[in-house]
Amino acid sequence: MPKNTLTKTPWWRPGQGGVSVLAILLLGLGITLGSAPAASAHDQLISSTPAPGERLKRAPGSIVLNFRAPMMGLGYEIRVVDSSARNWVQNESALTGAALTQPLPPDLPEGEYQVRWRAVSGDGHPISGSYEFLVGATATSGSFAAGNRGDTSPGQSPAADAGPTNEDQSAAPPAWLIPVGIGGAAALGLYLAVRVVTRLRRATTNN
């Protein structure tokens, strides 16, 4: 009676199914790497009116923030404060797709102002930031602490604001971790399935 012998072929060696298994693993890795940047980038602030550091002759009628993609219609807010921490915003912000608008009163005096905003990106991740602008020819900059100045200017990665939003972001796992875990588990499952099927076929052939 012939002895049933199985030749163990390393998964990395070409031939006898090794190439197929390697291709499956590379496919799973490609899926995870392709989805990770989209999940971690969120919907960044790409432009604003007024722009960070811009000096205006007259007070603007509103603040407009434009994001990379439409935001979720909850948890958004814009505050416009002066050097004495007074918030000049009187009405609520309005979100239209990827644009967040905050009306301002017509009697905004000359000076430096800081725009403090927060919103929820399309993937459900809270983002926030701040920047300054000037109103009037005699207004001077430098009224706000360095730690609160322009850390999320348009085109840069969103940074967490102080308070509950920052705690929520620091406690949450990285957004790319979920797709990486799913892709890795899928690749491992496919690899094990191929190994089992290959062994069964070899056993049947030898018998």
Which domains can be identified in the chain, with CATH numbers? Answer: 18-39+176-206 (no CATH), 43-161 (2.60.40.1220)
Per-residue pLDDT at 114: 97
Average pLDDT by stretches of 10, the chain with 207 residues: 53 51 58 49 87 96 96 95 93 95 94 96 93 96 70 45 36 52 72 76 73
**How much is the pLDDT for 29?**
58
| Per-residue confidence (pLDDT) for residue 37, from 0 to 100 | 47
Is residue 184 helix, strand or coil?
helix
pLDDT at 182: 72
pLDDT of residue 171: 40
Question: What letter represents residue 105's amino acid?
Answer: P
Nearest-angstrom CA–CA distance, 23 and 25: 5
pTM, full prediction = 0.57
Q: What are the two backbone dihedrals, phi and then psi, of residue 101, each rounded to the nearest 5 degrees?
A: -120, 140
